[in-house]
Amino acid sequence: MADRHPLFEPLVFVGGLTFGFGLGFSHMARPEVVLAFLQFDDLGLLFVMFGAAIVSGIGFALLPRIRDAAPLTGDPYERRLKPFDRNVLVGGAVFGVGWGLSGICPGAAYASLGTGNVAILWALAGMFLGAYAQGYWRSTARASDAPTGAD
Amino acid sequence: MVADPVVLQAVADLFPSGIGRYAVGGLLVGLGTVLIYAGTGIPAGASTFLESTLSYVSEQSRFQRYVGSRDWRLVFTAGIVAGGLAFAATVQSGLITSALYEPGTTGRLYEVAGVTLWSTAVQPWRLFLGGVLVGVGTRIGKGCTSGHGVCGVGSASKTSLIGVLTFLTVAIGTAQVVAALGVSP
């Protein structure tokens, strides 16, 4: 959108900065620490994921009561729920195998690069390749379904 | 409350690095998400960036549907990378110390221009192959640890709760099998 508020992208950047700093501070940007969670050696990841979900849950619940629309876009504060279908299970399982093998997920991979982890470029290259492969297949296999929101 | 030392020790064993860095980190991840939502009304997740960025170089319809959001998603990801660097330049470099931060012993620390950087010891083939599966899975499964795990769970979305339960269970199984096969790190 061309008529976007001038503070839109700066705010997204600051939000990303906070998000990435948190991933660094929590050591989620370190695959070893995520693998230690999955192997039950250190359950700290639970505090990261549920801590973040609780904070965002409070924000998602309170903001619609405070104002009608977001100041920088004019969009109403609404829940954008994704429809459930078999893909959630199939994709979730494929993601699970990849996450369990590598100990890295997309957001943590971006933050990991920032902490100096050049080796994570292997994971990022893999993610782009995987995203391209499924997109190529799904674009050509059928006229694709509705957009899936903001994740 | 019974402060049985055996029970306390058992709980401490589950959190050998304490909970401070995890709780504070999670708080910041949530704060970043709320900041963007407060200003824009968008519950931002990290993995759509993969497809939206591919729309710059591919005409496939699956990627072109994200043309409208690809610019700000690039900014969001740049912010996350910068956040990781900011952490490295401050806390990881020892410029800021906190009782809530436990440094840890994983991987390898190295220095560039006075900034303490970090590199993983996890083998490249695991990162690459895992990355491919993450790339396929998050996009088919409609979300990743931030889209489903933070935004979705935060909105009490049933779809996201099922998604999180699915990838968490499978990831635990996978990591246990890989470790049992003697692959380390």
Domain residue limits, chain A: 8-141
E-strand stretches of chain B: 108-112, 115-119
B30 touches chain A (CB under 8 A): yes
Q: How far apart are CA A132 and CA A102, in angstroms?
A: 19
**Tens-of-pLDDT digits for all 151 residues of chain A?**
456 899 999 999 999 999 999 999 999 999 999 999 999 999 999 999 999 999 999 999 999 999 999 999 999 998 888 999 999 999 999 999 999 999 999 999 999 999 999 999 999 999 999 999 999 999 988 654 555 555 5
A21 touches chain B (CB under 8 A): yes
CB contact under 8 A, B39 and A107: no
Token pair for A58: 């409070």
pLDDT at residue A95, rounded to an integer: 98
- The complex scores an ipTM of 0.96
Q: How far apart are CA B26 and CA B20, in angstroms?
A: 10
List, in sequence order, every residue forming a beta bridge with A76; answer none if it has no partner: A69
Q: How many CB atoms lie within 10 A of CB B113?
A: 6
Judge residue A77's burial from the number of C-beta atoms within 10 Å of its C-beta, 0-12 exposed, 13-18 middle, 19 or more buried: buried
B107 touches chain A (CB under 8 A): yes
Residues 31-70 of A with CB under 8 A from B: 31-33, 35, 38-60, 63, 69-70
Q: CA distances (Å), B152 to each of A38, A49, A81, B114, B149, in order? A: 21, 11, 8, 39, 6
pLDDT at residue A144, rounded to an integer: 47
Residues of B in contact with A103 (CB under 8 A): 122, 126, 130, 175
- Show Cβ contacts of residue A64 under 8 Å, excluding neighbours closer than 6 positions: A76, A77, A78
Crossing angle of helices B158-180/A31-38, nearest 10°? Answer: 90
pLDDT at residue B41, rounded to an integer: 96
CB contact under 8 A, B51 and A29: no
Residues of chain B where predicted confidence (pLDDT) is lower than 50:
none
pLDDT at residue B3, rounded to an integer: 72
A9 touches chain B (CB under 8 A): yes
Note the pLDDT tens digit of each residue in B28-72. 999 999 999 999 999 999 999 999 999 999 999 999 999 999 999
Which stretches within A67-120 are classed as H helix? 86-102, 106-114
Judge residue B112's burial from the number of C-beta atoms within 10 Å of its C-beta, 0-12 exposed, 13-18 middle, 19 or more buried: exposed
A140 touches chain B (CB under 8 A): yes
Q: Is B71 helix (H, G, I), strand (E, B) or coil?
A: helix
Residues of B in contact with A44 (CB under 8 A): 15, 17-19, 21-22
